[in-house]
Amino acid sequence: MVSVYGDYAFNEHTTLQFGVENITDVRLADENGEYAFADEGLHYFLGLTAKF
pLDDT tens-place string over residues 2-50: 999 999 999 999 999 999 999 988 877 666 667 666 678 899 999 999 9
pTM over 0.95: no
Given a contact cutoff of 8 angstroms between Cβ atoms, the answer to whether 16 and 7 are in contact is: yes
Beta bridge partners of 16: 8, 48
pLDDT score of 28: 73
pLDDT score of 38: 67
Can you say whether the dihedral through the CA atoms of 20, 24, 25, 30 is positive or negative?
negative
Segments of 1-52 assigned E as strands? 4-9, 14-21, 43-50
